[in-house]
Amino acid sequence: MGCLLLLAILSGTTGPAGAAQAQTLAREIAEYRLTAPAFARFKHASDLISAAIGNDPRFLKNPLFTHEVALSGDLGESAAELEARLRSEPALNGALGTAQITAREYTAFALALIAARLAHGFVKSGVLRSVPAGAAADNVAFVDAHQGPIVDVLKRLGIETDP
């Protein structure tokens, strides 16, 4: 399933046509470029979110980043679900406010980061020769340059970091 998300982001498509909002989100994620300032906000928010979910038994039953959210083939739907959850959970929404990042940017950054991390692993292992030029290639280069901090933040969020 991770390959479907990766391919959706690399090609800018999301599979079957869905709601306009989900399609818009998927397009935003496909075009999203990971940057150091956005990573700083994402990391700060993730630190706060990790602390909040670590103390809440509801997140043990229903983690923020489920396999479906992180690796679903329906990028737009997964993004919409994650964004809605970030907005609706007071502790998560508060963490985003403190870190000065919106639920939409956090969602876009997280899903673009996961896809870039997968693509980075595929390129390093030889499964992919290269990534097409554009946002995806820029994001893979970002992952290559920031591997340590990225692995750390993804582990704190409970996201499998081995592509």
Which pair of tokens denotes residue 6? 């990766």
6-35: pLDDT as tens digits: 445 454 444 444 457 667 777 888 889 999
C-alpha span between 2 and 15 (Å, rounded): 14
pLDDT at 9: 47
Give me the percent of the chain exceeding a pLDDT of 90.
42
Residue with tokens 């997964």: 78
pLDDT at 59: 82
Alpha helices in 35-134 (DSSP H): 36-54, 58-61, 67-71, 75-88, 90-99, 103-125
| Average pLDDT score over residue span 35-42 | 97
pTM score, whole prediction: 0.82
Asked if 34 and 143 count as a contact pair (C-beta separation under 8 A), the reply is: yes
CA distances from 2 to 67, 82, 102, 114 (A): 9, 17, 25, 9
73-129: pLDDT as tens digits: 567 788 888 899 999 999 999 999 999 999 999 999 999 998 899 889 888 888 888
* Average pLDDT for the chain: 82
